[in-house]
Amino acid sequence: MSTLEGQYTVDWKDYDGEPTSTTFPVAALTAANFDAQEVLRAALQSALDAILLGQIQQYEQANLIVDSVSAPDDPLAQRELAIRVNYVDGTALKPHRTEIPCPDLTNLDSNARAYFAIGDGDVIDAWVTKFEAYALSEDGNAVEVQNMILKGRNL
């Protein structure tokens, strides 16, 4: 069983540039309530602007899904290991990276042992396809995965 909740988070800076933020519990966004929730959010933000002196930096409207509180059963699931995914903005060619914790090391490429096997039609390729379909660059462009490297702590 999972739970779903909405969150509205506002980040401000005060006069000396110190950051501060508040997260409000709100209704989870859906296609049906999306526009109505935006009206309510804008009204609250306008009211906040009228009573606070801080400078708003950014705000987030988010849904939070809590899937589990359990730890995995596999002792090989260790956050000290991660996949470093190097990818580029497909338009601007600007490099980006993200890290995925607790990788399954059986997906390492037997011919290039520090890398996960891209091109064998297995689960890593499926992940690449879904990532490129869902992720965007910071500038809002489609992305292309370059490689996926096993990384850990510095030794």
State which of positions 118-147 bind another protein (CB under 8 A): 123-124, 126-127, 129-131, 133-138, 140
Length of the chain: 155
Q: Which residues, listed in sequence order, are joined to residue 21 by a DSSP beta bridge? A: 11
Examine residue 104 and tell whether it contacts another protein (CB under 8 A): yes
End-to-end CA distance of the chain: 40
Q: What are phi and psi of 125, to 5 degrees?
A: -65, -40
Q: Which is nearer to another protein, 70 or 154 (CB)?
A: 70
Q: Which is nearer to another protein, 62 or 93 (CB)?
A: 62
Could you give the CA distance from residue 96 to residue 85 in angstroms, rounded to a whole number?
8
Residues 17-36 interacting with another protein (rule: CB under 8 A): 17-22, 24-32, 34-35
Examine residue 1 and tell whether it contacts another protein (CB under 8 A): no
Examine residue 110 and tell whether it contacts another protein (CB under 8 A): no
8-state DSSP, 15:
T
Examine residue 64 and tell whether it contacts another protein (CB under 8 A): yes
- Phi-psi category of residue 29: left, alpha or beta, with phi > 0 → left and psi -120 to 50 → alpha: beta
Q: For the CB of residue 98, give the shortest distance to another protein in the complex, in Å.
A: 5
Q: For the CB of residue 154, give the shortest distance to another protein in the complex, in Å.
A: 17
Examine residue 71 and tell whether it contacts another protein (CB under 8 A): yes
Q: What are phi and psi of 126, to 5 degrees?
A: -60, -40
Q: Which is nearer to another protein, 31 or 155 (CB)?
A: 31
